[in-house]
Structure 1
Amino acid sequence: MKLSQLISAALLCCVGFGSNAAEREIDSVAVIVDNSVVLESDVTDIVERVKRNAQAQGQTLPSDAALRTQATERLILTNLQLQLAQRMGMQISDAQLDDTIRNIAQDEKLSLEQFRQQVIAEEGNYERFRERLRDEMITGEVVRANVQRRIYISPQEIDSVLKMMEEQGASNEQYNIGHILIAIPSQASAEDISEAKDRADKVMQLLRDGSDFKRIAIASSSGANALEGGDLGWMNINEMPTLFSEAIRGRKKTDIVGPLRSGAGFHILTIFDIRGENVAAINEVKSRHILIKPSIILSEERARTMLADFAAKVRAGEADFAELAKQHSEDPGSKLNGGDLGWSEPTVFVPAFRDTLNRLEINEISEPFRTEHGWHIAQVLDKRTVDATADKKREQVYRMIFNRRYNEEASNFLRELRSEAHIEVLADN
């Protein structure tokens, strides 16, 4: 019996007893993905969620069949990343998940219960939201772990970009980019490439005739952000893939650019918006932290409780933050300095740490929060705005190059992961 048949049999539920017993299918397999499956209910869940979001934003959508295709592809990639995470021994604990949800609720200025009720009102199922968020956290870590090691940036590259920016009088303008990818197979024939080019030209014509970019992206794009209407978010031009930055430079809002050929296929771009001309200042914080790493001996909850107790004692004047860091912190780089991290831009830290520093007021001590390094409490000692000096510009350029390279390599990594997998989309779904 095939894997799909075995799993489908397991998803049948017997109702009643005796000769009148009836079988009721409670779910079915939509796709076999290596050693796992994508269920029909998961595909339906994404399609319905996209529809709800589109309705709330007044966004038109393509057909249900197009939505289903995009949702299925999204779930295939997620499933492959989760299988890889399992092989790598990568997990997100309930404590990490709870802390991330707490941070999201704080960002939206809601209590945990208010946030829970908002999720239920918008999505109907809070537990499903939790598990989807856990999967997103795990897949994010999988991509980071596999992509960061591929990236090396030489001092010569930084010098070259700095020189180019000075010659071109480049500003810190940010572009909100829309992206449609008409993909070609990894070992494409001349016929494959010709067919993809024809599809890209047809998409370009639709866009020139006034079709909505996001709707076309959802219907046609093979890019990772297709279900978001191809929205890549805000990027400085030097953070974009080189192919994109060269094509976008000098363009204005709503321009349609493409098709642009790369190894992945044909790309079509638009500029949804532009912001932040000639920003020359950098916001920095002076901060310190205490890090406790959970282990076989020290549980997640115990690590969190220890830090909550430290924070309470410091706030009450019963303990000194620096002394507690020297005694207990497991960050060797800051421990001897009382947890002091010096002056830095919050963006140099991992996302959970960055977001916490951005929320804190001067002298405020955070609640315990989780990053991939362990549990932390942090305190912002001061804030300042500084000019973009030569050293700071080099740091900014490094991050721009890193972000650009990261985006390119992340796309390559996911494409490789997909091409090496056994995927069987079941025809009767």
Structure 2
Amino acid sequence: MKVIVAALFISSLFTLHAKAAPELLDSVSVIVDQDVVLESQIVDLVSTVKRNALLKNQPLPSDKALRTQAIEKLIVDNLQMQLANRMGIQVSDPQLEQTIDNIAQGQNLTPAQLREQVTSQGSTFNKYREEVRRELILGEVRRANVRRRVYITEQEVNNLVKLIDEQGNKQAEYHLGHILIEFPSEPTDEDIAQSKQRAAKVIELLNKGSDFAKVATASSGGPKALEGGDLGWMNINSMPTLFAEAVQSKSKDDIIGPIRSGAGFHILKVKDLRGIEKVEVDEVKARHILIAPSIILSDEKAEKMLKEFRQQLLDGEADFAELAKEHSADPDSALKGGELGWADPSVYVPEFRDTLATLKVDEISQPVKTQHGWHLMQLLERRVGDATEKRKQDKAYNLLFQRKFAEESDAWLREIRANAYVELIAKQDK
């Protein structure tokens, strides 16, 4: 009898096991060079896009079109992450936390409020942190690989400075929507003709009133496809040259294109436009004494030395310039009595910049530590006024760099995508 009961029990275990066979929770959907894109990543990205679109009341194309765009983005991101691993690019936890704090500050939130906002939108904060870390790494990979492709001549800078002067800093800004109808990197005449025909159909749809964001998400091969093709506000001097020439004299809601480039045919929509007011520059004039810790001079002694200097200055027993000339480890400013000249505060390291922001004119700071050592600072003057000639040069250079970096970044992404081994794994029917 016991043998029969035992047999029945064992039989029931096998039956239960068969009924409770584990389901496949994840699978490989795309092979990308030496790595893969998982089905869960595609599902997560599609869900995120849908959630964001719902918050913005943005219409979306079919699930099939959305999935295709999500897969393409994940492929390109995966290739960049593989490159980041080979280059040894990482983002430390302190760097990540500082970035998240900056994001919260930019949204006028505390870090705790940002955490609540993330979780209320259906995500976890840990997942959000890793998404931010990933975006930081992708940005660093692009900067490292694209920066060396950007070349700006002195003549280009001078020409743009002249143009800015002629326009009196009253240049238009455009809020642009963008759709790219791609063709291969080495297209045949047939490829070009087919892409041009597709672009014409897209323009026809838009002129008949189709939603631009929905069409962009479904059809665009541009980097902002999943954001509805929204390029945001762009200064006419920082947008790609093709776009800058095309949008001038255009009005709000105008559809522009197709504009041909090496990547395909571009279609633009002027969502809005606005003028630029006169640019004013906040600058500070400061001086400092730098004490650099060493094997001989400890951190504590360096800080103590500056505290003593500060007290001597407050008591009128010492002169700042003389102390800087005698003791400062910054050779350039030491010769000038510690003076740094007029500068945009953003050029300084964060601790130095933030301390200057708290000082009143002629006030002397407490010792402040930065990556360079310990500083004693004095704010000499503040001013708000028109940009200096150097500022104009810097502004022109930055505008040119932004334009060329965007163009070269798109080209670089197309190149690594074209040279990659990518295999889509067919989904198995259940």
Fold-level similarity (TM above 0.5): yes
Aligned residue number for residue 4 of structure 1: none
Seen in structure 2, the aligned counterparts of structure 1 residues 141 and 38 have a Cα distance that, compared at 3 Å, is same
AA paired with 1:203?
V
Aligned residue number for residue 145 of structure 2: 146
User: Does the residue aligned with 1:61 lie in a helix, a strand or coil?
Assistant: coil
**CA displacement 1:84-132 (0-9 Å, x = unmatched):** 0000011111221112112222233333222212111113211111111
Seen in structure 2, the aligned counterparts of structure 1 residues 239 and 286 have a Cα distance that, compared at 3 Å, is farther
Normalising by structure 2, report the TM-score. 0.77
Deviation at 1:170, TM superposition (A): 6.5
Aligned residue number for residue 154 of structure 2: 155
Deviation at 1:220, TM superposition (A): 0.7
Is 263-272 or 278-287 further displaced after alignment?
Answer: 278-287
Aligned residue number for residue 408 of structure 1: 407
Contact 2:169 2:278 in 1 (8 A): no
**CA displacement 1:187-237 (0-9 Å, x = unmatched):** 211111111111111111111111111111111101111111111122211
Contact 1:363 1:379 in 2 (8 A): no
- Structure 2 unaligned spans of 5+: 1-13, 291-298, 314-319
Number of aligned residues: 386
Contact 1:172 1:279 in 2 (8 A): no
1:363 correspondence with 2:321: no
AA paired with 1:240?
M
User: Does the residue aligned with 2:258 lie in a helix, a strand or coil?
Assistant: strand
Aligned residue number for residue 128 of structure 2: 129
**CA displacement 1:138-167 (0-9 Å, x = unmatched):** 000000011111122111112223344455
Aligned residue number for residue 302 of structure 1: none
1:118 correspondence with 2:114: no
Seen in structure 2, the aligned counterparts of structure 1 residues 262 and 18 have a Cα distance that, compared at 3 Å, is same
Deviation at 1:388, TM superposition (A): 3.2
Contact 1:174 1:274 in 2 (8 A): yes
**Any residues of structure 2 matched to 1:10-409 within 5 Å, and which?**
22-166=21-165, 171-284=170-283, 343-345=342-344, 361-363=357-359, 384-409=383-408
AA paired with 1:114?
Q
User: Does the residue aligned with 1:418 lie in a helix, a strand or coil?
Assistant: helix
Q: Distance in 1 between matches of 2:375 and 2:219?
A: 45
Contact 2:169 2:276 in 1 (8 A): no
AA paired with 2:280?
A
Seen in structure 2, the aligned counterparts of structure 1 residues 346 and 198 have a Cα distance that, compared at 3 Å, is farther
Deviation at 1:63, TM superposition (A): 1.0
Q: Distance in 2 between matches of 1:67 and 1:369?
A: 50
Contact 2:172 2:276 in 1 (8 A): yes
Give RMSD over aligned pairs: 4.2
Seen in structure 2, the aligned counterparts of structure 1 residues 126 and 16 have a Cα distance that, compared at 3 Å, is farther
Q: Distance in 1 between matches of 2:64 and 2:20?
A: 35
AA paired with 1:272?
K
**CA displacement 1:8-47 (0-9 Å, x = unmatched):** xxxxxxx999666623211111211111111111111111
AA paired with 1:108?
Q
Deviation at 1:357, TM superposition (A): 5.8
Is 98-107 or 243-252 further displaced after alignment?
Answer: 98-107
Seen in structure 2, the aligned counterparts of structure 1 residues 387 and 191 have a Cα distance that, compared at 3 Å, is same
Seen in structure 2, the aligned counterparts of structure 1 residues 340 and 269 have a Cα distance that, compared at 3 Å, is farther
User: Does the residue aligned with 2:121 lie in a helix, a strand or coil?
Assistant: helix
- Structure 1 unaligned spans of 5+: 1-14, 292-305
Q: Distance in 2 between matches of 1:414 and 1:327?
A: 50
AA paired with 2:235?
N
* Identity rate, percent: 48
Q: Distance in 1 between matches of 2:373 and 2:411?
A: 32
Contact 1:357 1:380 in 2 (8 A): no
Larger radius of gyration: 2
Normalising by structure 1, report the TM-score. 0.77
Q: Distance in 1 between matches of 2:418 and 2:288?
A: 43
Aligned residue number for residue 316 of structure 2: none
Aligned residue number for residue 299 of structure 1: none
Q: Distance in 2 between matches of 1:244 and 1:161?
A: 16
AA paired with 1:194?
A
Contact 1:214 1:230 in 2 (8 A): yes
Deviation at 1:340, TM superposition (A): 7.9
AA paired with 2:57?
G
Seen in structure 2, the aligned counterparts of structure 1 residues 207 and 280 have a Cα distance that, compared at 3 Å, is same
Is 260-269 or 164-173 further displaced after alignment?
Answer: 164-173
Seen in structure 2, the aligned counterparts of structure 1 residues 116 and 167 have a Cα distance that, compared at 3 Å, is closer
Contact 2:169 2:279 in 1 (8 A): no
AA paired with 2:149?
R
Is 230-239 or 385-394 further displaced after alignment?
Answer: 385-394
Contact 1:33 1:80 in 2 (8 A): yes
Q: Distance in 1 between matches of 2:418 and 2:289?
A: 43
Q: Distance in 2 between matches of 1:401 and 1:250?
A: 21
